[in-house]
């Protein structure tokens, strides 16, 4: 038997740091301060800082569990639970003005799985020279696209001076630097991490550029219903691109946030093509990639989501649950802004309320983030992004005082 002192074949590996979100959670868990607050993860909490299982989901769970048959643990098809990904498609795209035969939909392991499957498929089928990601974007976008070997380029998105969308530079960059066949990843609504979305007119201009430059739009739709509380409003950009009839497109869709099914990993990948033949061919390639990666997706979460979407009474109750979550988040935005104003914190904090969705890009510098963590036990990503869903009526004043102290101690 080989000696345990033998050199490992893996000794030459470099050390890879833990994802910053999970590093933050680890540090937070080790802090025993009674007033500690974490505003890192994109997970909804109620006003007692507790996980909130949506009432509609509780009922759907009962329906699913009570109606289980002996085959409930059987494998799903490679493409997943068909009633689910059909219902997910209809929720996202609404009434279609094109044949469903032009669409391909697969159930995935939530939004990450949909993004990953889409990246692998587009790399293989389109072989783009580059993928364009917003600066900033969800951190995992970089990881996903680097793993498939596509060159990553970024387009300007956040204007740190006015704390809003850097639209002119966004358009200029795409017009002058993007090339035909490039993939562009777009956030369908509630942009992560900034909470800043284009207006409808700006979306139209982005679609114009995609047409003119021959770019392939890949939407990441992780927060449908979470931006405005209105599903149709939040789906507007995706539906507009589709309605033009001049663009093929893909969408990664997640139900982690809007149904609170984080651990169930419920998502879908959708592809809209110009022909039924293209869709059939694409489905075969997507199924092959899915088979090689996960074989088949899990069933329970998909059945719960389908029960919500297919049962009118539960669907209406779910819409109310969505409104309750978005309303609480909007209220926390106002409370945080009002507290900062009352404290006389230097700067204009109105952007906290004008941003939408689960997150706010506060404009705090890395140095200020370090101060609120070290001095006040408030844990925030060093980008200054905070999860508004982690604020409560009990901790918002403490968070505001921490931000105020940091801004005075380390002015930008």
* Cα–Cα distance measured from residue 368 to residue 353, given in angstroms and rounded to the nearest whole number: 21
In this structure, the chain runs to a length of: 412
Catalytic-labelled residue, pool 203, 257, 349, 404: 257
Contact 250, 92 (CB under 8 A): no
Contact 204, 211 (CB under 8 A): no
Name which of 136, 153, 155, 135 is nearest 145 in CA terms. Answer: 153
Q: How many CB atoms lie within 10 A of CB 38?
A: 22
Please say if 234 is a catalytic residue. Answer: no
* Cα–Cα distance measured from residue 153 to residue 182, given in angstroms and rounded to the nearest whole number: 10
What phi and psi, each to the nearest 5 degrees, are found at residue 349? Answer: -110, 15
Torsion (CA) 84, 90, 92, 93 in degrees, nearest 10: 150
- Which stretch of DSSP H or E encloses residue 270? strand 266-272
DSSP string, 144-203: HHHHTTPPEEEEE-EETTTTEE-HHHHHHHHHHH--TT-EEEEESSS-TTT-----HHHH
Please say if 203 is a catalytic residue. Answer: no
Half-sphere exposure (Cβ direction) of 77: Cα atoms closer than 13 Å = 14
Order of all β-strands in the sheet with 152-156: 103-109, 266-272, 249-254, 216-221, 183-187, 131-135, 152-156
Catalytic-labelled residue, pool 52, 59, 132, 138: 138
Catalytic-labelled residue, pool 220, 234, 321, 404: 220
- Which stretch of DSSP H or E encloses residue 277? helix 276-293
Q: How many CB atoms lie within 10 A of CB 102?
A: 17
Q: How many CB atoms lie within 10 A of CB 22?
A: 12
How far is CA 65 from its chain centroid?
29
Beta-strand ranges (E) seen in 68-190 are: 103-109, 131-135, 152-156, 158-159, 164-165, 183-187
Please say if 349 is a catalytic residue. Answer: no
* Cα–Cα distance measured from residue 161 to residue 293, given in angstroms and rounded to the nearest whole number: 43
Residues serving a catalytic function are 138, 220, 257
């Amino acid at each position: 038997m080989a000696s345990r002192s033998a050199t490992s074949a893996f000794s030459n590996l470099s050390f890879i740091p833990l994802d910053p979100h999970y590093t933050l959670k680890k540090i937070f868990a080790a802090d025993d301060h009674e007033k500690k607050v974490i505003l890192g993860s994109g997970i909804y909490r109620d006003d007692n800082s507790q996980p909130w299982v949506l009432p509609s989901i509780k009922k759907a769970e009962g329906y699913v569990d009570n109606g289980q048959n002996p085959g409930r643990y059987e494998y799903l098809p490679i493409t997943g639970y068909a009633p689910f990904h059909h219902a997910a498609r209809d929720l996202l795209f609404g009434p279609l003005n094109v044949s469903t035969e032009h669409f391909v939909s697969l159930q995935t392991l939530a939004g990450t799985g949909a993004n990953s499957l889409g990246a692998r498929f587009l790399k293989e089928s389109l072989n783009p020279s580059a993928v364009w990601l917003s600066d900033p974007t969800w951190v995992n976008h970089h990881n996903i696209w680097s793993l498939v070997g596509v060159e990553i380029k970024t387009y300007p998105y956040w204007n740190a001076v006015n704390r809003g969308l850097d639209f002119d530079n966004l358009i200029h960059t795409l017009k002058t630097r993007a090339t035909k066949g490039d993939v562009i990843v777009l956030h369908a609504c509630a942009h992560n991490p900034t909470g800043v979305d284009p207006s409808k007119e700006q979306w139209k201009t982005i679609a114009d550029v995609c047409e003119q430059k021959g770019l392939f739009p890949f939407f990441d739709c992780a927060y449908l219903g979470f931006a405005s509380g209105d599903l149709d409003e939040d789906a507007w950009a995706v539906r507009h691109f589709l309605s033009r009839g001049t663009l093929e497109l893909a969408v990664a869709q997640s139900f982690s946030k809007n149904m609170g099914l984080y651990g169930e990993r419920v998502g879908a990948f959708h592809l809209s093509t110009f022909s039924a033949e293209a869709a059939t061919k694409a489905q075969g390639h997507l199924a092959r990639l899915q088979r090689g990666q996960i074989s088949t997706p899990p069933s329970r979460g998909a059945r719960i989501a389908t029960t919500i979407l297919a049962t009118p009474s539960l669907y209406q109750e779910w819409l109310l649950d969505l409104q309750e979550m978005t309303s609480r988040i909007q209220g926390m935005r106002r409370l945080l802004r009002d507290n900062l104003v009352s404290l006389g914190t230097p700067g204009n904090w109105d952007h906290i309320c004008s941003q939408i969705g689960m997150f706010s890009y506060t404009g705090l510098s890395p140095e200020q983030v370090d101060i609120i963590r070290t001095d006040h036990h408030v844990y925030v990503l060093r980008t200054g992004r905070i999860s508004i869903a982690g604020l409560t009526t009990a901790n918002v004043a403490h968070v505001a005082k921490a931000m105020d102290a940091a801004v005075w101690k380390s002015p930008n």
